Amino acid sequence: MARKSFDKAHFLHIDRHKHRKEYKRLKKLFRDNAYLVNPNEAVRNKQLLKYWRTRSLLFSKINDCPIYMTDELWFSVTPELIAKFLAKFIRACLPEATKVMDVFCGGGGNTIQLAKTFPTVYGIDASLEHLYCTYRNARAYDVADRIWLKHGSWQHIAAKGRFAKLGIDCVFGSPPWGGPDYLASKSYDLEAALQPMGITEMLATFLSVSSNVILFLPRNSNLDQISRATRSLLGPSGQCRVVYVKTNGYTKGLLCMWGAALVSPKEEQPNVGSDDERPHGQAEESQDERGKKVLVNYDLDG
């Protein structure tokens, strides 16, 4: 691989001298062209076959452009349709926004669509391999120059408070749900099962970066825990908007939103922007009995 295989300026603070080990690992990943997907050869791991077969739902360019995936990314990347919807939704609510953050950026499913919509996107992940995949995939989508990647665990990064000073307009996160077993119980315990911290602590760390927060959570999430976390951090009048996202008639997860512009936008999102720029889909909205959560069903096939 050529010497200029990656632009290290995009990997924040991975300095050749200060962080020798990380730098070397990153260089080796680039040199080996590690994790490149071969669209003509099925993945060896049988458990991942179903994801490989529907690979173009994850990245529509996967059959034509170099896309990079670790085993974990096959089942954790946000499908492109949802990532696109989310990026347009944020822009419709926050038309002036320029800087957004994707905590737990994984293989870049969300980072890429955010970078297609906003000029500056910060991506954070505890896995150097995943950050490398995000960068590579962003190159395939021609948006690598808009992204800045930080390696480390969110707990440590949030505690340092550096991102709080950057004027980030919206912070998004798709935290690990604990693998495909997340549906094993009827109600997903957002305090005990969500990684790397429970919903209240996670929301607090996100709110320390921006007042506009979005989390992508399991579809069976315990909504009372969301209400409690909201009130404990934002007071009794705090509000959260919960958007159920459906594709192919199947609810993929829910988007939980905090911040005035996201919870009570001046105009309803589907009517904002040109036809091309509108978040695509049908929304049904209702208030819960206490009026604290705005529940929305969003069917992307509608």
Residues in contact with ligand SAM, shown as a per-residue x/- string from 61 to 100 under the rule CB under 6 A: ---------------xxx----------------------
Q: CB 99 → ligand SAM: shortest distance, Å?
A: 18
Interacting span for ligand SAM (CB under 6 A) from 5-13, 36-44, 152-160, 275-283? 152-160
Q: CB 106 → ligand SAM: shortest distance, Å?
A: 3
Residues 167-196 that bind ligand SAM (CB under 6 A): 174, 176, 195-196
Q: Which of 14, 107, 115, 199 binds ligand SAM (CB under 6 A)?
A: 107
Question: Dihedrals φ, ψ of 298, to 5°?
Answer: -120, 115
Q: Looking at the DSSP assignment, which residues form a beta bridge with residue 240?
A: 293
* 110 near ligand SAM, judged by CB under 6 A: yes
DSSP string computed for 117-186 = HSSEEEEEES-HHHHHHHHHHHHHTT-GGGEEEEES-HHHHHHHTGGGGS--SEEEE-----SGGGGSSS
Residue whose CB is less far from ligand SAM, 153 or 187: 153
Token pair belonging to 211: 């007042």
What's the rounded Cα separation, in Å, for the pair 11 and 123?
A: 10
What's the rounded Cα separation, in Å, for the pair 285 and 130?
A: 36
Q: Which of 22, 80, 125, 169 binds ligand SAM (CB under 6 A)?
A: 125
Q: What angle do CA 2, 9, 150 make, to 5 degrees?
A: 115
Q: Which of 43, 48, 126, 283 binds ligand SAM (CB under 6 A)?
A: 126
Residues in contact with ligand SAM, shown as a per-residue x/- string from 13 to 42 under the rule CB under 6 A: ------------------------------
Residue whose CB is less far from ligand SAM, 34 or 295: 34
| Cβ-based burial of 183 (10 A; exposed 0-12, middle 13-18, buried ≥19) | exposed
- Strand residues in the chain grouped as ranges (E): 11-12, 99-103, 120-125, 147-151, 170-173, 213-217, 240-247, 250-258, 282-287, 293-299
How many residues touch ligand SAM under the rule CB under 6 A: the total is 22
Site residues, ligand SAM (CB under 6 A): 76-78, 104-110, 124-127, 130, 153-155, 174, 176, 195-196
